Structures are given as structure tokens and as C-alpha cells.
Structure 1
Amino acid sequence: MSVDREELLAAWRVEEERHREGWDFSYLQGRLTEEEPPWDFDTSCRTALREAEHVLDLGTGGGERLLSLADDLPADVIATEGWEPNVPIAAARLAPRGIPVVRYDPETPDEAMPFEAGQFDLVLNRHEALDARELYRVLAPGGVFLTQQVGGDDFTEAHEIFGSPASYPDHTLDNIATSLREAGFLIEDSAEWKGRMVFHDIGALVYYFNLVPWDVPNDFAVDRYADTLLDLHQRPPTFTKSRFWLRAVKPEP
């Protein structure tokens, strides 16, 4: 039993230290099964891009998702990223397309977007925090804000297992929609959904936790939570996946 334990922990330590770039989850292919929302956010983005001339991608991560939309991007596109390790990664990936990456963190109190009022006619946001009033300011009249978000009740089971409170419990469709309406937006469409995410081995879970550290305790480490991980190894976990999306428009005068 002790040999098995040490072999498992050694394998999980490797996953804990494995190099990661941006928000690329392709390494977990075949080790993670997850349901997807009934809407197609990428298709919604493509449709909006075809009608836009000045686009902001808010929270681009490593630039992966924006590049997947490359065929529909206009000439004028700017991306932001708030997590420092991702900034140089995104900049290197997007530079060949002529897309600059600006460091901006919507969660920094009172930090204004480094853009002019009315500069964009489309802002895309996939799983990034937002400042409704700043969004309203940088969008031109008639401009569109399109976002998909992770719900505050995402990965509830992980918080219960590891004894950590949810990082953003108030991050709900209702609350985000309310903040946008208060800023002056009109909500044109929205929906929310919950599904399942199944990890087929604990090494995959460890790797995933290091991509999304807000879903586990701040002190998460394989050795610190070895007993919990070994217990999970006996019964591979299923977690709740929570998503919502909306489309908002800044009214014409």
C-alpha cells in the first residue's frame, strides 16, 4: 500500500509542476469528460465579429480563443490580459496577427481601461471579470458586449471536499445583468446552464487545479492534501460545471 501511495504521489507531483501556457486544456484530452452548454459562444462571437470594425478582447488568456476566431477578425483588434504570466504568452501568439496585448485587470479597484471613450463597437469577454461602467464608456453607441462567464457555484464539490469557500459566490447571471443595466446597457439575450465535469484520473485534476487556482485552497499542493487526493483516487470525482452568457448593447442616443 505504501509503495502504491508513493507512486501515486510522485506522479501527481509531476502534474503539479508540469509547464503550462495560457488557458490551453488540450493536454487533458481523454482524461477529462465535460458537458458543454446548449449555446455556441464561438459562433455568437463570429457572427458579431462580422459586423464589427473595432474590437476589444477582454481577458484574452494566452490568446488561444481569439486566434481560433482569426478568419472573422477585422483589422482593428486589441486584447487585454490581467494575469501577468499570460501577458507575454498572449503577446507572442497575437503579434503575427498585428494584435497588441495590453495589461489590464478588471478586478483592480478603480482601474480605468486604458482606452478612449467610444473606441470599440464590440467587446468580447470569455471568463474574465468585468467593470460594467468602464465597458459602457469604451463602447460606442450601438456597440455590443458579448460574454460567457463561469458561475459562482462552479466546482461546488471541490470547495466542499477541500474545505475552501467559493472565490466568487456572487458571480451570477442576475448580478452581472443588474450591474450592466445600472451602467446603462440593454440586455438583449442571456441564459444559464449547469452540467457535469468528470476527471478520469487524479493527475488530471491536479493539473487542472493549477490552471484554475481559484477553485481550490490558496495553499493547495499535492503533499499538503495527499490524504484527500488519495481518497479521491478511490472514487474519481464528478464536479458541477456552471456557465452563463449574455449579449448587451449600449443604446443609441
Structure 2
Amino acid sequence: MNGSEYKAFYDQVGKLNGWNFSQVKAASEGAKWDFFDEVAKRCKKTDFLLDIGTGGGEALLAIADAAQLLVGIDQSEGMIHTAAKNLADAKATNVRFVQMEAEHITFPPNFFDVVSCRHSEFCAHEVAKVLAPSGVFLTQQVSEADKYNLTQAFGRGQRSVIRSGTLKEKYLHELAEAGFADMQSYEYDAAEYFRTYEDLLFLLKHAPIIPNFGQSDQDFAILRDFVEVNQSAKGIRTNSARFMIVARK
């Protein structure tokens, strides 16, 4: 999917489920970090934080005490609508949500002390533009090997034919070109267990893991066979492959 296709997909899905993924019951074994814990660790109470691709804003609201001002942006109107509802429920006075493209961030130069981005596209030059000198950028992205047994079962997947490490190398190169000199990267590939068939089905219908999932009845037959093969006492086993980059301007 390209950027416009992702936007259309997520706008459609947002209208269907209100961006409530909390009902999905899954557990990971072997994850080396929690991304927003890592973000919070690098914030001072006086900092301004920008979160790119904030989605429904739940993760940003969970660390509202970490910084003086937290701003979440997302290109999807549906996501920002949900984030505004979550903000009203949380009653956080130092958090804002704005619909905005990652490729054209309209905040003033050097405005933010920390910029974060989880599982969303970003523009390295735009990040560098709005990040203060010595500011830090953190991003966590889905690695090519994510949900490997699922993409093998279906014979298709959003990154099933791309060499592992390609996306990380691309982002490191773009960040270097944008002027980031101090960069570190980390990876993990953790086991992930979905509690029930319905949990996994919800994820596949509401996230672009298997392109066009559900448009053919054969998809559901493949999924049933996958569950039978990968069922365990801990749940339905797949994997969660992630990488994180921490870069200082």
C-alpha cells in the first residue's frame, strides 16, 4: 500500500470499529521494550512532545505526565475523531490532537524536544525541521518478518517479499541525510499469542497484514487451517517483529 491507500484503508476501518483494538486479547513473549515507555524515559517534564501517526491517541494519553505538552498528529480524520473522544474521557489538559500529514508538519521549526512515531510513516526532513537542537527522535516500526507464519499460510503479505532489514536501512539512510548523526537501532522478534480465533480475525480484518483479507471465502478456510496448526495452550501462535531507531539531532 502507498500512503493514500493506507489513509483510505484506515479511514474506512475507523468508521467500522471506532479504532477500538482494546478488545483484541494477545500476549507477547520476548519483547525487549515497550515503545512509549522508551519515549517517556527520554522526556523531561518541561519538554514538548510530538507523536506522528498517533492513531486513537491511547498510547500518548497514557504518558501525558511525561511532558509539559504532548501533540499527536495523524492523517486520518477517523483516527483524530477517536483521539478527540479519548482525550475528552481522559480529561488531560496538556494533550492536543491535530489532523496533519507527516510529509507536511506545520508547527514552527525547532518547536519540539522529542518526536515519536510508532508503526506509521514519517518524513525524516520534516522531523528534523520541527525538532529542537539536541532533540531526540524515536520510531518503532514493523519488521519484514512480522507475522511470518501468517503471510506464509496466505501466500501474501504487506512485506512478505521484501528482504529483512530493508525498511530499517531505508529509515537510517533518510535520517542521516536529514542531519541526524547519533543513531542507534534495536530489534526483537517475539512470540505472540492470540487468545481466540475471534481475536486474530479482528486483527486481520482491521489491520493491513494480509492484503484484501476476507474478500474471498478461501481466506476464512485458510485462517481456520492456520488456527488448527498453530493453536497452543498459550493461544494461537504467530510472531511480533519490531525494530526501533533512536536518533539525536
Matches within 5 A, 1:227-238: 227-235=221-229, 236=231, 237-238=236-237
Partner of residue 122 from structure 1, selected from 93, 114, 118:
114
Matches within 5 A, 1:8-27: 20-22=17-19, 24-27=20-23
Give me the whole-angstrom Cα distance separating, in 2, the residues matched to 1:120 and 1:221: 43
Matches within 5 A, 1:91-240: 91-95=84-88, 96-98=91-93, 99-106=95-102, 111-167=103-159, 169=162, 172-212=167-207, 214-221=208-215, 223=217, 225-235=219-229, 236=231, 237-240=236-239
Match status 1:41 vs 2:18: no
- What secondary structure does 2:23 align onto? helix
Partner of residue 54 from structure 1, selected from 48, 54, 58:
48
1:28 corresponds to: 24
The amino acid that maps onto 2:17 is R
1:12 corresponds to: none
Give me the whole-angstrom Cα distance separating, in 2, the residues matched to 1:226 and 1:246: 36
- With over 3 angstroms needed to count, the CA separation of the structure-2 counterparts of 1:43 and 1:184, relative to structure 1, is same
Query: Where in structure 1 are there 5+ consecutive unaligned residues?
Result: 1-15
The amino acid that maps onto 2:33 is W
The amino acid that maps onto 2:134 is G
- What secondary structure does 2:107 align onto? coil
- What secondary structure does 1:97 align onto? coil
1:56·1:120 contact (CA, 8 Å) conserved in 2? Answer: yes
Q: Give percent identity, aligned residues only.
A: 29
Could you say what the CA RMSD is over the residues aligned between the two structures, in angstroms? Answer: 2.6
- With over 3 angstroms needed to count, the CA separation of the structure-2 counterparts of 1:182 and 1:163, relative to structure 1, is same
Deviation at 1:92, TM superposition (A): 2.2
TM-score (norm 2): 0.79
1:187·1:246 contact (CA, 8 Å) conserved in 2? Answer: no
The amino acid that maps onto 2:144 is G
- What secondary structure does 2:156 align onto? coil
Corresponding pairs, count: 225
1:8 corresponds to: none
The amino acid that maps onto 2:248 is V
Alignment deviations for residues 58-111 of structure 1 (CA, whole Å, 9 cap, x no partner): 11111110111122231x3221012332110102222532432222243xxxx4
2:241 corresponds to: 242
Match status 1:83 vs 2:76: yes
- What secondary structure does 1:45 align onto? helix
The amino acid that maps onto 1:85 is G
1:117·1:137 contact (CA, 8 Å) conserved in 2? Answer: yes
The amino acid that maps onto 1:154 is D
Give me the whole-angstrom Cα distance separating, in 2, the residues matched to 1:37 and 1:52: 30
The 4+ residue runs of structure 1 with deviation greater than 4 A are none
2:153·2:226 contact (CA, 8 Å) conserved in 1? Answer: no
